[in-house]
């Protein structure tokens, strides 16, 4: 046995050299074939270990050890190559996607910027940057230069100037959580308003306490009104959440520049006049705020001109915020008593409609997370309910809804999918976070229709409308979807692909748009998170 030991050692050394050569050869193949190398090594292990001893007398355990080391080395070489290949593929795909904008996407871009421009709200830097990036890509892709230039001009007008406080005052507006109106007012005795829409304590003292006051006069001659759109209208991105006001239609949009007189609805106090130039297809748009009593505040929006009395108020007072200008945008605070049925201005022109809304600080709505909203949104009511009975009936009859009801604003059902959702730290009262809104609600004209209203973020802006089902996981009623570890699928006629969603908790939602149908297996790939 002793005389054979040198032979065995020399043979073992020889075998190690053979294995190293084989390892280098296989490594070269492995770099080329990536995953195949470890498989070949496995086969080698199986063939060499099928016997207890090799022809040279080397124990099989020794060979297994050498092969294992070679396999480990090969895998360490292959993995970086696989990772690099995947990274290159993803980078190429993302680069192609980033540099390309299709004609369909361009039409969506036109639609979003046009809607924002008509609505007249300024947009924040994040929203502006997203649209500007898309517009730049459109120009590079060779889209119609005149159309791109037109959109660029509209987009530039939407951007909030560095010094402009738009949105800031709303984000700091009191939300009246867990306190009465009296407590709120007792804690806000400043001589200026913390929220421009709500008079400060000194002004409130001059307004009558709410009792049995009623509106007595229609905003306009009702013979000029051909329909009224109920509250809860959806028109993303500007109206991704159900609208808080009604629309009075006095002419077909774009059909006429004529206007009709707008009247005060009762003895009221004008509290705020806001306006902006170039917000819609008309030269200027005004919003007139008025208090019926201390807790009830109404507003007319998209007023096209002011009465001489209100023009005098605007001329004599300064804009509320630094950076504002009467030539661009301006908020004028006032406390001016106006008698019933007095002309306040005129409505109509090319827009053809105006808004009428109201909030009552005595009546709070139910939202899943009130901290997301400003004061007005938490207390929105139906303006028609504040009219004397005979006029109230006539107004309700004009509502464009089968049951002639006023429509619903706050549709949240806490603990379920139904209602409003937000991406990130978006606020419902910011006026600049539209693209981060998402709503699962009923249609304002036909409540039998369910609507997914999308402001953007996880997929394109738009509305998915369908008839909901009372069971199963496809197009399920929103109120039935809860944190139950189930994935639900939604699809709608005229919409491409499907929407998958699930609720991990009562306050969180994950959602994803995919190019597939609800008939295929449900599986998330890259969902977006929303919260209440």
Tell me whether residue 92 is in a domain: no
Does residue 163 sit within a domain?
A: no
Helix (H, G, I), strand (E, B) or coil at 186: helix
Report the domain count for the chain: 4
- What is residue 89's predicted lDDT score, i.e. its pLDDT? 44
Q: Which domain holds residue 40?
A: 2-85
Would you say residue 406 lies in a domain?
no
> Same domain for 135 and 278?
no
* Residue 361 tokens, joined: 């600080």
Q: What is the pLDDT of residue 121?
A: 52
- Same domain for 152 and 209, yes or no, is no
160, 416 contact by CB (below 8 A): no
CA torsion through residues 408, 409, 412, 418, sign? positive
* In a domain? residue 286: yes
CATH number at residue 182: 2.70.70.10
- The answer on 324 and 280 residing in a single domain is yes
Look at residues 365, 397, 429 and tell me which one is the last residue of a structural domain: 397
Q: Is residue 90 part of a domain?
A: no
Q: Quick one: 202 and 350 in the same domain?
A: yes
Whether residue 18 lies inside any domain: the answer is yes
Residue 220 and residue 296 in one domain? yes
In this structure, are 310 and 429 located in the same domain? no
* pLDDT value, residue 191: 59
Instruction: Report the predicted TM-score, pTM, of the whole model to 2 decimal places.
Output: 0.66
Strand pairing report for 508-514 and 498-505: antiparallel
Q: Are residues 304 and 234 in the same domain?
A: yes
Angstrom CA distances, 161 to 73, 167, 340, stand at: 59, 12, 39
What is d(CA 387, CA 384) in angstroms, rounded to the nearest whole number?
A: 6
Among residues 521, 467, 457, 508, which one has the least CA distance to residue 491?
467
Residue 421: which H helix or E strand, with range?
Answer: strand 419-422
Q: Are residues 195 and 50 in the same domain?
A: no
Pick out the chain residues at pLDDT < 70.
1-105, 115-126, 143-144, 159-192
DSSP per-residue string spanning 86-101: HHHHHHHHHHHHHH--
CA gap 270, 276 in Å, rounded: 18
Tokens standing for residue 509: 């939602």
Burial of 174 per CB tally in 10 Å (0-12, 13-18, 19+): middle
Which of 25, 59, 85 marks a domain boundary?
85
6-42 burial code (b ≥16 CB/10 A, e <16): eeeeebbeebeeebeeebeebbeebeeeeeebbeebe
- Per-residue pLDDT tens over the stretch 221-277: 999 999 999 999 999 999 999 999 999 999 988 888 999 999 999 999 999 999 999
- The reported pLDDT for the residue numbered 85 is 44
| 197 inside domain | yes
Do 109 and 26 share a structural domain? no
**Please, what is the Cα angle at 101 between 96 and 102, to 5 degrees?**
115
Residue linked to tokens 């008079």: 199
Phi and psi of 153, rounded to 5°? -65, -40
Taking alpha carbons only, the member of 412, 322, 399 closest to residue 365 is 412
For the chain, the 3-state helix, strand and coil shares in percent, each to the nearest 5, are 35, 25, 45
The answer to whether residue 349 sits within a structural domain is yes
pLDDT tens digits for 365-396?
999 999 999 999 999 999 999 999 999 999 99
State the helix-helix crossing angle for 125-141 and 60-99, rounded to 10 degrees: 90
pLDDT value for 529: 98
* HEC secondary structure over 111-151: HHHHHHHHHCCCECHHHHHHHHHHHHHHHHHCCCHHHHHHH
**H-type alpha helices, 370-415:** 375-378, 389-397
Instruction: Look at residues 483, 509, 488 and name the one whose alpha carbon lies nearest to residue 500.
Output: 488
Do residues 442 and 527 share a domain?
A: yes
179 and 320 belong to one structural domain: yes
62 and 128 share one domain: no
């Amino acid at each position: 046995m002793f005389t054979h030991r040198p032979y065995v050692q020399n043979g073992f050394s020889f075998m190690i050299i053979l294995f190293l050569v084989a390892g280098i050869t296989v490594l070269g193949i492995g770099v080329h074939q990536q995953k195949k190398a470890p498989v070949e090594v496995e086969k080698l292990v199986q063939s060499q270990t099928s016997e207890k001893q090799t022809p040279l007398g080397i124990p099989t355990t020794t060979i297994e050890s050498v092969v294992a080391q070679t396999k480990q080395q090969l895998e360490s070489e292959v993995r970086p190559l696989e990772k690099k290949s995947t990274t290159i593929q993803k980078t190429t795909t993302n680069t192609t996607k980033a540099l390309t904008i299709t004609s369909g996407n361009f039409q969506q871009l036109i639609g979003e910027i046009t809607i924002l421009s008509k609505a007249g709200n300024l947009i924040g830097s994040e929203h502006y940057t997203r649209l500007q990036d898309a517009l730049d890509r459109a120009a590079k892709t060779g889209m119609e230069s005149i159309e791109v230039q037109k959109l660029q001009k509209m987009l530039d007008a939407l951007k909030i100037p560095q010094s402009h406080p738009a949105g800031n005052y709303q984000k700091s507006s009191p939300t009246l959580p867990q306190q009465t109106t009296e407590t709120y007012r007792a804690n806000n005795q400043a001589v200026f308003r913390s929220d421009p829409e709500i008079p400060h304590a000194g002004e409130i003292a001059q307004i009558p306490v709410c009792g049995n006051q009623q509106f007595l006069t229609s905003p306009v001659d009702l013979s000029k009104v051909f329909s009224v759109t109920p509250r809860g209208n959806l028109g993303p991105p500007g109206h991704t959440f159900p609208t808080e006001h009604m629309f009075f239609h006095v002419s077909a949009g774009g059909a006429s520049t004529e206007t009709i007189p707008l009247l005060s609805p009762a003895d009221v106090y004008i509290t705020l006049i806001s306006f902006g130039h170039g917000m819609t297809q008309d030269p200027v748009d005004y919003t007139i705020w008025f208090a019926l009593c201390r807790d009830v505040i109404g507003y007319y929006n998209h007023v096209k001109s002011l009465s001489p009395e209100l023009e005098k108020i605007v001329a004599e007072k300064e804009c509320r915020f630094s950076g504002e200008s009467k030539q661009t945008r301006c908020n004028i605070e006032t406390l001016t008593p106006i008698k019933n049925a007095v002309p306040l201005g005129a409505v109509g022109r090319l827009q053809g409609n105006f808004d009428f809304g109201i909030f009552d600080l005595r009546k709070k709505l139910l939202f899943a997370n009130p901290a997301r909203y400003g004061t007005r949104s938490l207390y929105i009511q139906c303006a028609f309910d504040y009219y004397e009975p005979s006029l109230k009936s006539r107004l309700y009859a004009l509502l464009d809804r089968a049951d002639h009801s006023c429509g619903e604003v706050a549709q949240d059902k806490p603990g379920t999918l139904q209602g409003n959702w937000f991406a990130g730290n978006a606020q419902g009262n910011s006026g600049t976070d539209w693209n981060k809104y998402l709503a699962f609600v009923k249609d304002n004209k036909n409540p039998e229709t369910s609507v997914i209203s999308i402001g953007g973020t996880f997929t394109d802006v738009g509305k998915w409308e369908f008839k909901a089902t009372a069971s199963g996981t496809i197009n399920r009623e929103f109120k039935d979807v809860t944190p139950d570890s189930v994935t639900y699928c939604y699809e709608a006629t005229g919409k491409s692909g499907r929407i998958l969603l699930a609720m991990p908790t009562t306050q969180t939602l994950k959602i994803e748009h995919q190019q597939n149908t609800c008939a295929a297996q449900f599986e998330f790939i890259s969902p977006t998170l929303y919260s209440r």
